[in-house]
Each structure stands twice: as C-alpha cells, then as structure tokens.
Structure 1
Amino acid sequence: MLEDVDEANGPLKVIPGTHKGPVLSHHAGGVFCGAVDPEDPLFEQDKAVTLTGKAGDMTIHHVRTLHGSAPNRSDRARKILFYELARADAWPILGASSYIHALGQRGFWADLQDRVVTGAPCLTPRLANVPVTMPLPPAKDNTSIFKTQASGGARSAFA
C-alpha cells in the first residue's frame, strides 16, 4: 500500500480458502465480466475479510482466492502497487500464443529470463489437475478490469 487504506477508500476484500474450492462463474450475459454474481449460492460474502493497512503494508493472496473491492467513497486515492508472481514452471494457458508471436521466440525467451526473480526458467510446464475456466468471450471493453466489469454487465457484491 502506497498510502493508508481504510474502509472509506474501498479496500480489497478476500474470502479465505476459496482458492481451494470450485471456480465460480465470472461471466454475465454470455461474456466474461470479471466478477462473480453476488447471487451465486456458492459465493459466501459474509466470510469476506477486509484488507486495510498503513502505507508500506503488504497483503498476499493466491490468484484463485475470491477477491474484490467496494467503490472508493473517500476523497483520497487508493494507491496500491501490485506485484504478480508465479513459479517459473507455471506457463500461461491463455494469451501465450499471441504473446510469443508478438515478441518472436528470441524475444519471448529473453523476456522469460528477465522476469525470473529467483531460480531459472523452466521448459517443463507444471500441469496440475485444477479447475480452469477461460475468460472468453471478452466483454465489449476489456481495457481494464473496471471497464470489463461495466461493459460485461457485472453486478458488484461490495457496492
């Protein structure tokens, strides 16, 4: 957190343990909207934990943990720096082909090496038996998560 985050400026909320459960639908009206329907019977909003803190604090959650935030209702920005980390053997399922083609094989290989924090790039992807749902078809405007949600017809659970 780059500045203090409290209830007023729409902090992130997570539902602990959901990374081990089923993947809830992030679709509305037949398109990926980047949000779970608050009416989904498996969405247990009452178990959400609010992640507030002081400037310099950090929170960490698994990518599959259900998470979201309410709108920022304060007069202060919610300035947060996001780091996304993955194991070197966790290869992308969606987007890899266009990513490789855009950079070319040499550029892709150089980029992979540049992104390694510790260890070495791995040429044998780790494949695990976990549920996966592709975020397709895309919403009309998917230039940001907020625009994806708005143009995809998502309803907020935290509004």
Structure 2
Amino acid sequence: MPTVLTDAQVADYERDGFLVIPDAISPEDIAELQAVTSEFVERSRTVTEHTEVFDLEPAHTPEKPLLRRVKTPEKWHPTYARMVRHPKILGALEDLWGTGIRYQTSKLNMKVAGYGSSLEWHQDWAFYPHTNEDLAVVGIMIDDIDEDNGAMMIVPGSHRGPIEDHSYDGIFTGGIDPTKAQADFSKAISVCGKAGSISIHHVRAIHGGPANRSGRDRRYFLLQYTAADAWPLMDKMDWNSWRANLLTGEETWTPRMEALPVRLPLPEPTHGGSIYENQRDLKSRYFEDAVS
C-alpha cells in the first residue's frame, strides 16, 4: 500500500519512467538549500580548474563565476546531507520498489542564467548497470524549473526500450549520438515544477536538456538511489560504505538478478571527471552549446 505516492502516480512512473511530486520539500528547506548553494557559487570564485568539489563551465572566471556542478555535495555541507534521508523521498521510493533503499551518490547540476550548458541525451544505466533495474535519480528543484531555464527532458517509456550506444569511435562518451539513436526524441517531455518539487526518473530513462537561455538560474540537486538488493556489475565496493548507505530495510548478501540489456561503460572516456567532460568526445549533438 503506497504511503507517499498514489496508485495513479505509481502507474504513471511504471508507464513513463518518471514522475514529478509537487511541494515535496518544505519552503524552509528550499530557502536553506538556495542560500547554501549561493555560498558554493561564491566559493567557486577561488578556483580556475575543476576540483573534487567544483565542475566549472568553460567560461568560468573569478570575476564571473560559472559553476556547472557541485560534486557529491552531501560531503561538503550538512544541509545537502540532510536531504539524502528526506522521508518523502525514501517513502516514494519504497512505494515504487517495495524494498529497502540504498543511497549511491549525488550531484548538484547548475544551469547559470543565460549560459548553463546543455547535456546530451543519455541513460544513467549506461554508466552503472546493476543486477536489477530498481534504481532511480531523485531531483530536488531548488529553483522553479521550466522549459525556459533548461528543464531536463525525458523520452516517456524509453526505460522499457533498448540501451542505446553511448560510445564514439570505440570510446565511452556518456552520450547518445542522435543520428544513430533508436529513440524518438521528438516525443520528449520537459520535467518542470516549482521550487520544492521533486522528480524521480528511472535509471534506464533517456534524458538530457538544453542550455539555459533565460535570465533565471536553474539549480537541480540530483540524488541516486538503488533497491537494497541491487548490486553493481562493475564498481569497486567499499563494504563499510556499502552497508552504511543502506537507509531502509534489511541488508542482503543475495543480489536480485534480472535479465536486462547491459552495455558496459568501456573503454573509459578520454575526458573524465563528470558527464560534461565525458561528452566532449561526442561528434553529433542534439542540443545547441551554451551561450555567453
């Protein structure tokens, strides 16, 4: 019996591969997230290259900070860390999966007003396939998000389709060549909502998004979760961290196996550090580059 989601919302997720839940995060929490995120933008003025905390836009300068991503923000500030265990997030995932929930990692993707970079079509599953597909990314909308300021776009139902090729010239690039894709990108839907809304998208759903050409920032805190019995096919595992990241349910030593399509993210990308860097090797693009 769902506790956070309605039966209709569960059905929508199973059909479309994504869901938006309005007003999931309180105005007080959103105000705190906005303030802390602004502090990180100010801190990014002190760096000129990517760091373990900051992923920078190509045109970033100390005078005009253009922060593209905060990496694993829950490591750097307790406000972000608190969101990892938000009861509405965990409750919604339990409604979808009916299992215990394990936390993976997070990132805070920024699309600065008038610049924020596009992100080419991709499937998260291409980066980290597991023994089963009960994996999802939860996005906390720190700002109002709409088509004007670079909302993420998802191809509905693509989570039930093939795993697209994310390579170019034999190298994993973290993006789909739109000239070779099987998906129909014309059917993509923008994932929009007011600040405080959360989105949930399936690990196999095809998604991407345009540059932000509006006068408003788009800050989107993305948290990755798995079912407790979903085990990675490739990642090296720190056992203590693995167990500590179990947020609800019981630990299991028996992975749940499903017959699923898998493409491994190999050979490794030429440019590492983030998906934005991975995608530098893509030769064909769907979205236009960021503007200054």
CA distance in 2: counterparts of 1:154 and 1:110, whole angstroms: 41
Shift of 1:73: 1.9
CA gap of 1:75–1:155, structure 2 versus 1, over 3 A, is farther
Query: Where do 1:6-155 residues align within 5 Å?
Result: 6-96=146-236, 100=237, 108-150=238-280, 152-155=281-284
CA distance in 2: counterparts of 1:41 and 1:33, whole angstroms: 14
TM-score normalized by structure 1?
0.86
Return the letter of the residue paired with 1:54: K
Shift of 1:20: 1.0
Q: For each residue in 1:101-152, what CA deviation from the matched residue of structure 2 results, as whole angstroms up to 9, or x when unmatched? A: xxxxxxx3321222112102211111110000001112211201111001x2
Give the structure, 1 or 2, with the largest relative contact order (CA under 8 Å, sep 6 or more): 1
CA distance in 2: counterparts of 1:155 and 1:8, whole angstroms: 24
Q: Is the 8 A contact 2:229 2:255 kept in 1?
A: yes
In structure 2, the gaps of 5 or more residues are 1-140
CA gap of 1:50–1:16, structure 2 versus 1, over 3 A, is same
In structure 1, the gaps of 5 or more residues are 101-107
TM-score normalized by structure 2?
0.48
Return the letter of the residue paired with 2:272: N
> What residue number does 2:109 align with?
none
The SS at the match of 1:83 is strand
CA distance in 2: counterparts of 1:95 and 1:116, whole angstroms: 17
Return the letter of the residue paired with 1:14: I
Q: Is the 8 A contact 2:177 2:285 kept in 1?
A: yes
Q: Is the 8 A contact 1:24 1:36 kept in 2?
A: yes
For these two proteins, the number of residue pairs brought into alignment is 148
The SS at the match of 1:61 is strand
Shift of 1:156: 2.8
CA RMSD of superposed structures (Å): 1.5
Q: Is the 8 A contact 1:113 1:120 kept in 2?
A: no
CA gap of 1:138–1:109, structure 2 versus 1, over 3 A, is closer
Shift of 1:153: 2.1
Q: Is the 8 A contact 2:179 2:284 kept in 1?
A: no
